[in-house]
Amino acid sequence: MQKKTVAFSKSSSNLFFHILTRCNLSCAHCYINPEQHGHQTLSIDTIRRWLGLFSPVASRTNLIFLGGEPTLHKDLPAAIKEARHLRFKSVTIDTNGFLFHNILEKITPEDVDVISFSLDGATSATNDDIRGQGSYDAVISGIHRARKKGFSCAMIYTVSDKNLHELWKMPDLVASLDIHRFFIQVIGMRGKSADRRTDTHQVSKGLWLSVIPEVARIIAETGIIVTYPKVFLETDEAFTCAGIVADNYFVFPNGRVYRCPLCEDYPLHAYTIRKNTLVPSPPVNESHLFDLTIPEGCVMNKIIQPGNLDYLADGTPAHRIACCMLKQELSRTV
Ligand code: SF4
Ligand code: SF4
């Protein structure tokens, strides 16, 4: 078993491109916030121009098409082909499984590196309670159809106290689905749903550490690569902020471009796309937070989720919170 922390690097870049915010579902933990991210569906001309802004770094940039639900965009196939034409390092679609507009008939496994399906429970009862009626069946059927056509598939499981217990059932399920990668995410206080919630549904540090690494290990034993957020730093581990040492861009249809996903609920974006140019935002923006050093680790975590932090009797933090972009990766050694 190989376990590694996936370090940030300026030599590799990720472009998370939200081409619309519309969605057919209304998941309990959705981070999309139309007030901050816009209601627009970008035209294919705009998508092409905005992809072009990143073409100088395309060969080292992993591109992820997101929404809302990106397959609701009728021109997603054309956007994918443009991305291939510009030679992005990899192209991924993140979908809720409904695969609108017959997307699987309009693209080929050569066009996309991965189709990533979101599932938040090992049973339809748990998943559909979180993600909406019919979404479990849509994901299972979508993965079967995509695999039959030769697409490489991944799954994203967002852990909360509503579905942590079903994570133990996921090794058997994912093995039966013949997927290639499994991503575990942690629920965060983001998006419109954050306003609605009275209970965060976040799991405790003890539960996270007792369940996630072990389930990840079991799934990785089957040959699937598993990735999960580090969340808590070891005492001897240095804290680093991806906003400083990595090259990530989160682009929304209203033109806002963030460098940190935790900042997405606020008008703190580092750039705005105006007239098809990437324009730096005036101070204060998220970039001015990245340099701040605090004993708790991530500054934005302390600002938006202070309840996640515990302190010792002497006032020092009981643990430091890692950058949300810092991941652990497990794979079977061959
Ligand atoms: S989490 Fe994804 S699938 Fe669910 S409502 Fe939000 S955009 Fe749609
Ligand atoms: S999550 Fe925290 S550490 Fe990571 S980029 Fe944002 S502010 Fe920096």
- In the chain, the domains with their CATH numbers are 2-238+322-331 (3.20.20.70)
What mean pLDDT is predicted for residues 310-320?
A: 92
Atom of ligand 2 nearest to the CA of 326: 4
Specify the pLDDT at position 192.
Answer: 55
Q: How much is the pLDDT for 1? A: 81
Is the CB of residue 308 below 6 angstroms from any atom belonging to ligand 1?
Answer: no
Q: Candidates 20, 64, 69, 98: which one to mutate for ligand 1, based on the most atoms within 8 Å of Cβ?
A: 69
Bridge pairing between strands 90-95 and 114-118: parallel
CA distance linking residue 105 with residue 151, whole number of Å: 12
Specify the pLDDT at position 191: 53
As a whole number of angstroms, the distance between CA 132 and CA 136 comes to: 8
Residue 305's pLDDT is 85
Atom of ligand 1 nearest to the CA of 26: 5
Residue nearest to atom 2 of ligand 2 (CA): 298
Residue 68 near ligand 1, beta carbon < 6 Å: yes
Q: What are phi and psi of 288, to 5 degrees?
A: -75, -15
pLDDT(193) > 70 = no
Say whether pLDDT at 188 is over 80. no
Looking at residue 201, what is its pLDDT?
A: 80
C-alpha of residue 160 to centroid of ligand 1, in Å: 16
| pLDDT for residue 293 | 93
CB-ligand 2 contact for 325 (6 Å cutoff): yes
pLDDT exceeds cutoff 80 at 14: yes
265 within ligand 1 shell (Cβ under 6 A): no
Q: Is 241 in the pocket of ligand 2 (CB under 6 A)?
A: yes
Element of type H or E holding 330: strand 327-331
Answer whether 233 contacts ligand 2 (Cβ < 6 A): no
d(CA 213, CA 330): 9
pLDDT in the model for residue 189: 53
Q: Is the CB of 63 under 6 A from ligand 2?
A: no
